[in-house]
């Protein structure tokens, strides 16, 4: 049995949808670092293939001064199944989506 493809949002995109299951969600997290590789690593831990993670970072990255900022929506159900769950990172509810930087 396959689950039905979720309907895109009113604007015809999956904006504000979970990165992994594409259902609408208010929760997410973000990555902040001067090297975009930090966000790529984070998305890879969320379960994206590395090439897909790199492409997505290029699409989503917002330059915030010297830093690259990438915010993604991820639902609680999906997040529970990712490798990020074992880190100190947690989801936040929009608009308070937390940004994580590498610990020095
Ligand atoms: Zn999800």
Separation of CA 66 and ligand 1 centre (Å): 31
Exposure of 4 in the CB half-sphere (CA atoms within 13 A): 3
Cα 24 to averaged position of ligand 1 atoms, centre (Å): 8
Question: Each residue of 34-75: pLDDT tens digit?
Answer: 899 999 999 999 999 999 999 999 888 876 677 889 999 999
Q: Residue 104 has what pLDDT? A: 58
* 104 alpha carbon – ligand 1 mean position (Å): 30
Q: Which pLDDT score is estimated for 45?
A: 95
- Expressed in angstroms and rounded, the spacing between residue 103 Cα and the centre of ligand 1 is 27
pLDDT in tens, 5-14: 666 666 666 6
Query: How many angstroms separate the CA atoms of 22 and 91, rounded?
Result: 16
Grouping H, G, I as helix, E, B as strand and the rest as coil, residue 7 is coil
Question: Which is it for strands 67-73 and 62-64: parallel, antiparallel or unpaired?
Answer: antiparallel
80-100 pLDDT tens trace: 999 999 999 999 999 999 999
pLDDT value at residue 7: 63
Residue 65 alpha carbon to ligand 1 centre in Å: 31
DSSP H helices in the chain = 37-45, 50-60, 76-80
Phi, psi dihedrals of residue 47, rounded to the nearest 5°: 110, 5
| 8-state DSSP, 17 | B
Say how many CA atoms lie within 13 Å of 13 toward its Cβ.
4
Domain ranges of the chain: 27-99
């Amino acid at each position: 049995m396959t689950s039905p493809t979720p309907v895109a949002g009113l604007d015809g995109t999956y904006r504000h949808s979970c990165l992994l299951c594409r259902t609408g969600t208010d929760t997410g997290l973000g990555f902040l670092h001067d090297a975009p590789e930090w966000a790529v690593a984070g998305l890879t831990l969320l379960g994206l293939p590395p090439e897909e993670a790199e492409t997505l970072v290029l699409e989503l990255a917002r330059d915030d001064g010297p830093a690259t900022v990438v915010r993604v929506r991820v639902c609680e159900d999906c997040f529970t199944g990712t490798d990020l769950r074992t880190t100190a990172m947690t989801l936040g509810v929009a608009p308070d989506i937390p940004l994580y930087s590498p610990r020095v």
